[in-house]
A and B are shown apart, each in its own frame.
Chain A
Amino acid sequence: NAGVMQNPRHLVRRRGQEARLRCSPMKGHSHVYWYRQLPEEGLKFMVYLQKENIIDESGMPKERFSAEFPKEGPSILRIQQVVRGDSAAYFCASRTGESYEQYFGPGTRLTVT
């Protein structure tokens, strides 16, 4: 059973461009979380999704950020018109509906130039 997959692992974008981060949860996992790790900080919760539904987006910036987890395919975190302050590591985690335990992917490191 492959672990949580994230791609790309590294992403470089110029200011104003769009960034799309993908997360494929572990097989059988229907719950996905996105966390952001800013330099020298711990991880901060962004959004929690189940298939086709956003359950909790209380940690998402109100503008430019969106997330989805379609019925088929990976979860996508989308950042429009990126700014330097968006530079961070973005981690995805997944779990089954019956368990509390989250399994983390290797992260996508976004650099905005």
Chain B
Amino acid sequence: AQSVTQLDSQVPVFEEAPVELRCNYSSSVSVYLFWYVQYPNQGLQLLLKYLSGSTLVKGINGFEAEFNKSQTSFHLRKPSVHISDTAEYFCAVSPSRSNDYKLSFGAGTTVTVRA
């Protein structure tokens, strides 16, 4: 079984400032890692994913994340946020060697960007 912990439930940040959202996971098997964004009253949109290879992955909207196997972390960063980045962000994992790929999600981090 897998579990995901998002260490910050709320992150207020000023426009054009950097932001980091922290995610740690626990799993007895190798996993794929994902970050999703959810805008109010909408579904989830994939921001980026780590499958294998380079530990620094780049996604849409200027986001990037770094996979750290020894610390079992997958933190999300953006160097300069916009008002439009106000949303809820979810870290998720799925087993990489399985035939179902069901996702286990963290509880989410609400990012509020202020002018």
Contact = CB atoms under 8 A, between A and B. Distances in A.
A12 interface: no
Nearest to B51: A100
Contact of A45 (B44, B51, B102): B102
Contacts of B45: 104
Nearest to B94: A100
A69 interface: no
Interface string B23-61: 000000000100010000111111001010000000000
Contacts of B46: 101, 103
Interface string A75-113: 000000000000000010101000011111111010000
Interface stretch (A13-21, A36-44, A60-68): A36-44
A51 to B, nearest CB: 15
A4 B44 CA distance: 11
Interface of A: 4, 33, 35, 40-45, 48, 55-56, 59, 91, 93, 95, 100-107, 109
